């Protein structure tokens, strides 16, 4: 799957929800069939800054266009049952995918401190379209029998995904902000092992991590980093268990005014243990990808509430055992106004 999406300063307060915005479009990620629970780029700038207490909600449109060859494409052939794991196959296959997904993520941020920090809870869900195709020369061999043919498979699905609960705890000390989080996947989304495109992941997962944000209110300079580890449970339909994954998302930004910021964001994703249940031809099937791109955010009032509109995009490179390409995130969030008695970095930014 698998926020806070580089939404923006806690000016909006709605930033809190994004930590949980991890959904997993089955077009372009890692582990089984090259798909992962964690969606790189989920977190970005201002990830660890506290939010406004109360309710907030975010709507995030995510678009990805990716491709892969070799093991990442061949693994999808195995997943959908086109070839037996005991059969030798030529890996000269190309995978193409596109995802257009809408994530809805309501968050409640508690006013009462917990362990000296600010606790928030989010439950995100996703709905959208996912399409994929496989094409290439498929050469199979079982003993002395070798068969070669040109093949093309494609399908598309418009449906719902899994549920993603997240808890976050944040602390603020001047320009320094800290965060820990825990999240996971409840596998209730639309998934079929024999289908090329899915919205659901097909198995549960848990993910824990922490982050840091430096936010200088005098200069408007900010940088953030969030790292975590994902443990994947076995897929009961395929008896496949993906390995443990490490991910690190980052963002840097500069406020040009009290309402607008610009900057860059990026991520690194590396699987650190082998998969279990994969065909021998794929080896450990550890995946990797790096991404980087620009971002811009705009904060504005809507009545008595605060709103945020942000756009960021990533170009991916240095991928292994994983489809890669480019992706964009368009985020709109709305949160309650900052109480007059509350002193927060976002309050200062809004009023300076």
Q: How many domains does the chain have?
A: 1
pLDDT at residue 220 is higher than 80 = yes
Residue 3 maps to a domain: no
Residue 1 maps to a domain: no
Residue 158 maps to a domain: yes
Residue 198 maps to a domain: yes
Q: Which of 13-22, 133-142, 235-244 has the highest mean pLDDT?
A: 235-244
Q: What would the mean pLDDT of 16-27 be, rounded to a whole number?
A: 34
Note the pLDDT of residue 153: 76
Note the pLDDT of residue 87: 47
3-state SS, one letter per residue, for the chain:
CCCCCCCCCHHHCCHHHHCCCCCCCCCCCCCHHHCCCCCCCCCCCCCCCCCCCEEEEEEEEEEEEEEEECHHHHHHHHHCCCCCCCCEECCCEEEEEEEEEEEEEEEEECCCCECCEEEEEEEEEEEEEEEEEEEEEEEEEECCEEEEEEEEEEEEEEEEEEEEEEEEEEEEECCEEEEEEEEEEECCCCCCCCCCCCCCCCCCEEEEEEEEEEEECCCCEEEEEEEEEEEECCECCCCEECCCEEEEEEEEEEECCCCEEEEEEEEEEEECCCCECCCHHHCCCCCEEEEEEEEEEEEEEECCEEEEEEEEEEEEEEEECCCEEEEEEEEEEEECCCCCCCCCHHHHHHHC
pLDDT at residue 348 is higher than 60 = no
Please provide the average confidence, as pLDDT, over all residues in the chain.
81
pTM surpassing 0.85? no
Q: Which of 4-13, 101-110, 234-243 has the highest mean pLDDT?
A: 101-110
Residue 4 maps to a domain: no
Note the pLDDT of residue 167: 98
pLDDT bin (cut points 50, 70, 90) of residue 186 is: very high
Name the percent of the chain lying above pLDDT 90.
56
Structural domain containing residue 158 = 10-139+148-351
88-125 confidence digits (pLDDT tens) = 555 566 778 899 999 999 999 999 999 999 999 999 99
Q: What would the mean pLDDT of 326-340 be, rounded to a whole number?
A: 86
Residue 5 maps to a domain: no
Query: Among 73-87, 202-216, 265-279, 298-312, which is the least confidently predicted range?
Result: 73-87
Note the pLDDT of residue 155: 87
Note the pLDDT of residue 195: 84
Note the pLDDT of residue 132: 85
Name the percent of the chain lying above pLDDT 70.
73
Name which residue leads in pLDDT, 248 or 71: 248
CATH number at residue 284: 2.40.160.40
Query: Among 232-236, 244-248, 265-269, 275-279, which is the least confidently predicted range?
Result: 275-279
Q: What would the mean pLDDT of 40-45 be, rounded to a whole number?
A: 91
Cβ of 61: how many Cβ atoms within 10 Å? 15
Q: What would the mean pLDDT of 169-194 be, rounded to a whole number?
A: 95
Note the pLDDT of residue 71: 56
285-311 confidence digits (pLDDT tens) = 788 999 999 999 999 999 889 899 999
pLDDT at residue 11 is higher than 50 = no
């Amino acid at each position: 799957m698998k926020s806070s999406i580089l939404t923006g300063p806690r000016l909006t307060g709605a930033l809190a929800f994004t930590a949980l915005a991890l959904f997993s479009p089955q077009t372009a990620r890692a582990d089984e069939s090259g798909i992962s629970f964690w969606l790189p780029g989920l977190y970005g700038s201002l990830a660890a800054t506290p939010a406004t207490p109360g309710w907030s909600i975010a709507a995030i449109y995510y678009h990805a266009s990716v491709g892969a060859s070799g093991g990442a494409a061949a693994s999808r052939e195995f997943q959908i049952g086109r070839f037996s794991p005991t059969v030798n196959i030529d890996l000269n296959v190309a995978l193409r995918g596109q995802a257009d997904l809408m994530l809805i993520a309501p968050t409640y941020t508690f006013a009462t401190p917990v362990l000296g920090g600010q606790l928030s809870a989010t439950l995100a869900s996703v709905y959208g379209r996912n399409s994929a195709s496989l094409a290439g020369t498929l050469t199979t061999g079982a003993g002395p029998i070798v068969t070669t043919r040109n093949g093309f498979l494609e399908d598309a699905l418009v449906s719902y995904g899994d549920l993603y609960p997240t808890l976050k705890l944040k602390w603020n000390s001047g320009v320094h902000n800290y965060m820990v989080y825990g999240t996971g996947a409840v596998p209730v989304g639309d998934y079929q092992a024999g289908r090329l495109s899915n919205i659901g992941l097909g198995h549960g997962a848990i993910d824990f991590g922490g982050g840091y944000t430096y936010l200088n209110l005098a200069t408007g300079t900010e940088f953030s980093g969030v790292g975590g580890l994902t443990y994947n449970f076995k897929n009961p339909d395929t008896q496949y268990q993906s390995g443990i994954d490490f991910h690190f998302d980052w963002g840097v930004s500069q406020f040009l005014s009290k309402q607008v910021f610009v900057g860059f964001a990026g991520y690194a994703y590396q699987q650190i243990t082998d998969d279990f249940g994969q065909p021998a031809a794929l080896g450990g099937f550890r995946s990797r990808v790096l991404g980087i791109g620009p971002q811009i955010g705009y904060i504005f009032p809507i009545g008595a509430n605060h709103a945020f509109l942000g756009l960021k995009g990533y170009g991916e490179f240095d991928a292994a055992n994983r489809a890669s390409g480019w992706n964009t995130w368009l985020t709109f969030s709305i949160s309650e106004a900052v109480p007059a008695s509350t002193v927060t970095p976002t309050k200062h930014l809004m009023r300076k």
